[in-house]
Amino acid sequence: MISGYVRRAGLVDVLGTYGRTNVQGETQQKLDVIANETMKQAFMYTGRVCVMGTEEEAEPIPIPEQYNPGKYVLLHDPLDGSSNIDVNVSIGTIFSVYDRKTGSGPGTLEDCLQKGRDQVAAGYVIYGSSTVLVYTAGHGVHMFTLDPTIGEFRLCGHDIKTPAVGKYYSINESYYQRWSEGYRAVVRAFKGVEDSEHRKNARYIGSLVADFHRNLLAGGVFMYPADSKAPKGKLRLLYEAAPLAFVAQQAGGVASDGVTPILDIQPTELHQRTPLLIGSREDVAFVERTVAEVDAVAAT
């Protein structure tokens, strides 16, 4: 349904701003709101979910008694990459599923604040040159492409594994002045400034789902570090970092905040942010090691 809206953007009135800002303080795009409403409608009445948490709403959405609250918790970023909507660049939907912790009835914030390691399923849909669903339920990562001629998702990747060393590095280099010396050293190494041992190709789309998906398949490392303006980074733990960290882990990759594995972080707020370093395990290890060494020296 969301793919249908995305692919008709410009033809139907779904472009531009909605005229409100969300809890993130970001101007909501019309497609953000449409995607959020579509996700709520799709899961409100299934009897499988007891509470939903969404990037677009400040508070969790408990499923009322009359809709038979179920045993799962659903957290989602209904539309990731909003800045790319009106310029026809890939965007996506990210989702994260937990077992409920509270007994019965409508779910609560407590049900939403669980460590990423306790996810029972996670994944994303990317609205790119094709519409692709990637998910894991803890038994490998599997990929499906929407076949528009039959309206079904068809398996196109079973038990995907991400390369240990990747082809790409992804970071918004316009923030160079805000980074620590450690991240500057890492990016110089990826550019091959001193030597070509760690040189990689640069790819940064500005949609986390698209940057993550390319690196998952081709190998690479995505970095959104904390910086002088965003001391906790920009990306959100519960519905961006944690679900993608679960997918990365199941594909043989890793994700951390630079120090702590994303899956081990205990959330305390629904919309809390985290620095994110995610992708090929040897590349992530190189970044963690280099940042630790360089920032330790810079601190003395």
Residue numbers of the site for ligand AHG (CB under 6 A)?
26, 55, 77, 80-83, 172, 206-208, 234
Residue that the structure tokens 């960290």 belong to: 245
Q: What is the token pair recorded at 172?
A: 């918004």
Instruction: Please classify residue 86 by burial: count the beta carbons closer than 10 Å to its beta carbon, then call 0-12 exposed, 13-18 middle and 19+ buried.
Output: middle
Q: Which is nearer to Mn ion, 133 or 186 (CB)?
A: 133
d(CA 86, CA 173): 23
- Shortest Å distance, C-beta 172 to ligand AHG: 4
Residues that bind Mn ion (CB under 5 A): 55, 77, 79-80
Angle, to 10 degrees, between the axis of helix 208-218 and the axis of helix 242-250?
Answer: 10
Q: Which is nearer to Mn ion, 101 or 203 (CB)?
A: 203
Which residue in the shown chain puts its C-beta closest to Mn ion?
A: 80
Q: Which does 248 bind (CB under 5 to 8 A by kind): ligand AHG, Mn ion, none?
A: none
Task: For strands 72-80 and 49-54, give the pairing.
Answer: parallel
- Shortest Å distance, C-beta 3 to Mn ion: 16
Q: Which is nearer to ligand AHG, 48 or 178 (CB)?
A: 178
Q: Which does 172 bind (CB under 5 to 8 A by kind): ligand AHG, Mn ion, none?
A: ligand AHG
d(CA 277, CA 259): 9
- Shortest Å distance, C-beta 218 to Mn ion: 21
- Shortest Å distance, C-beta 83 to ligand AHG: 6
Nearest to 112 by CA among 212, 243, 2, 275: 243
Q: Which amino acid is at 231?
A: P
